């Protein structure tokens, strides 16, 4: 079975997570954040938990073989039988090549273009409601009522342990070194879209909505073309 996969690329803080959730609701396919999966593995413990925690604390990329195995298992599961959105994978050319060679998929890529300054502020100002996990930002997207979650009314907020200044700077450097080269790689693959991600969330979402309509129309065309021929 060929799965329809949308890959989200962009700096930490470029809005991939927010827009990934939007695309997931619109297309009724799961949004897979490898960062969330890895943090869950750390919380649950296990043989790789300490190693993963050390890499994330230092802002370094998780070894390719571990991430490849984890993502492949998710994508080939029934959860992703109708496709999925990948946020945070692949992050290196090696991972991208592994994906092409080992997973039968129809791939579209959306790149969220944002400056280092804006990305850093978004990460450092990011907090989540402790009850419902709704994301806010003290610079760009505060709760309507100070200190109270808009969604569930909770007054408790938490920041991710790896959202500190030193770690974000390391993550930006790792991104530029390992992930930026993939932009040209996926441009050559076709179905590559760029979104200016520095504007208001609503404006970015509108641009993303226009893109996913094009992507899904293309997927429908390919589906019927396979049936006919």
Catalytic residue among 3, 126, 151, 202: 126
Catalytic residue among 3, 57, 72, 160: 160
Percentages helix, strand, coil for the chain (3-state, rounded to 5) are 50, 20, 30
Helices marked H in 82-164 — which ranges? Answer: 93-102, 116-124
Alpha carbons 99 and 90: distance in angstroms, whole number:
8
Catalytic residue among 16, 47, 122, 155: 16
Question: Could you confirm whether 16 is annotated as catalytic?
Answer: yes
- For the residues of 182-210, what is the DSSP string, one character each? HHHHHHHHS-EEEEE-SS-HHHHHHHHHH
Question: Could you confirm whether 91 is annotated as catalytic?
Answer: yes
Q: Is 11 helix (H, G, I), strand (E, B) or coil?
A: coil
Catalytic residue among 39, 91, 151, 187: 91
Catalytic residue among 171, 187, 202, 203: 171
Question: Could you confirm whether 126 is annotated as catalytic?
Answer: yes
Question: Could you confirm whether 171 is annotated as catalytic?
Answer: yes
Catalytic residues: 16, 91, 126, 160, 171
């Amino acid at each position: 079975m060929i799965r329809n996969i949308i890959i989200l690329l962009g700096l930490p803080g470029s809005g991939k997570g927010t827009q990934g959730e939007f695309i997931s609701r619109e297309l009724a396919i799961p949004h897979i954040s490898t960062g969330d999966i890895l943090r869950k593995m750390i919380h649950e413990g296990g043989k790789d938990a300490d190693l993963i925690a050390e890499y994330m604390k230092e802002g370094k990329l998780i070894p390719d073989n571990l991430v490849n195995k984890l993502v492949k298992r998710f994508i080939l599961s029934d959860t992703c039988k109708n496709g999925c959105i990948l946020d945070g994978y692949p992050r290196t050319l090696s991972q991208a090549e592994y994906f092409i060679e080992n997973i039968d998929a129809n791939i579209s890529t959306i790149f969220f273009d944002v400056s280092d300054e804006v990305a850093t502020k978004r990460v450092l100002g990011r907090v989540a409601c402790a009850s419902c996990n709704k994301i806010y930002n003290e610079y760009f997207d505060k709760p309507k009522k100070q200190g109270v979650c808009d969604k569930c009314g909770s007054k408790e907020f938490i920041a991710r342990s790896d959202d500190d200044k030193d770690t974000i700077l390391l993550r930006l450097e790792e991104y530029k070194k390992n992930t930026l080269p993939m932009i040209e790689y996926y441009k050559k693959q076709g179905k590559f879209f760029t979104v200016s991600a520095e504007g208001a969330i609503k404006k970015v979402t509108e641009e993303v909505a226009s893109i996913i309509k094009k992507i899904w129309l293309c997927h429908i065309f390919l589906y019927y073309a396979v049936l006919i021929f």
